[in-house]
Structure 1
Amino acid sequence: MTQIATAPRGLTDLGPIAQLRAGRLTRRLSQLYLGLVAYGVSLALMVRGDLGLAPWDVLHSGLIRHVPLTLGQAVVVMSFVVLIAWIPLRELPGIGTISNALVVGFSADATLAVLDRPDGLVLRIALMIGGVLLCGLASALYIGAQLGRGPRDGLMTGLARRTGRSLRLVRTGLELVVVVIGLVLGGTLGLGTVLYALAIGPLTQLWLPAFTVELSVRNREAIVLAPN
């Protein structure tokens, strides 16, 4: 008989099938999609604030200057490009991975369609700060649902595992690379980029314990990851 255990209140690294068998699926799916939609809204808030974007969105905003895509479409396209890089890293996508690749971009475009850039600097600063805060909450929601890493998160963890480098070092290196490429393409860099880089980790870590769903998993399948 296979022993079933409740994972400690932390992130559990499971394969795609095990993710779906780990229980509380209705709660986790609802939380996943709420988080992904909120993530797209947060991206749009920072775009309309027009004071700088998150590192990957610097790349996306530069890309759309050269190809006939909306910002949300660029997010979707780049998500699937990044997923191709998962193949040599042997990362396994889950339902959350594919959902992330699609929902964030569509949510961002839908929000941009109804939200205009305000004229006042105070309102733009409010949108920038609100976008960063919402992004931290959205990250905690979709990560805590434990249904698979996002494309960019999986690239980071795969590279860290393959190179033996720390997650912090790999993430910093990746974000520096995408910011440089985005700037070369004409992307938007500013105060919001710095604020995002400094705040998103602490904000996600602050909210993640509250939204990490405890799973019932097979002992032999689970590797418990520290939430930080």
Structure 2
Amino acid sequence: MVINLSAAYSLMSTWVSELRHTEIQTDRMRFRKNLERIGEVMAYEISKTLAWEEKEIPTPLGISVCKVMKEQPVLATILRAGLPFHQGVLNFFDKADNAFVSAYRKHHRDGSFEISIEYVSCPDLENRVLIISDPMLATGASLVKTLQFLKAVGQPKEIHIVSAIACTVGIEYVRREDPEVKIWCGAIDDELTAKGYIVPGLGDAGDLSFGSKTQS
């Protein structure tokens, strides 16, 4: 299942447009805040699909029967670009366990690259709901490799992927790896460059959030 949250007119469309805008992008704090806002909205939308139960809650004047979540999800993100996005999801699932994966593109002199994972910190995932945040789902290679590593830790019963901007090529690749995964997108673009960057996209989310880096 793929959900495009910009398909309807909403604040999501405004935040995505600001992420893309070359002049607004120069304000790193605003860029990070917009990623955080999108993460919050996606967390809220995902919460509607999770398991809930009724509990009696004591109040100063009596007992209230309230709907509460049965269990907290595990929130995972791909470093470093995913951190502001992850924070938005964490703001709403504030009791969740967290996982961090250092998946990145290791570039070669000929212009090609491979996905390298050098660090994974993760709780038990067996039979749990897993939400992975990655602001840019481009080729899907880093997400697929991340999924493979995380599934080796434990098999989640449900997987949600949240991306601010995704490319159709990457979406299709991830769904071939796991047809049951649910992908939540702020926007979907159709084109990739030869180097695997989304067009029109927004550029490098990690650099725009935290500054430029030297290539590995």
TM-score (norm 1): 0.29
Q: Answer 1 or 2: which has greater strand percent.
A: 2
Flag the structure with more relative contact order, 1 or 2, with Cα contacts below 8 A and sequence separation at least 6. Answer: 1
Q: TM-score under structure 2 normalisation?
A: 0.31
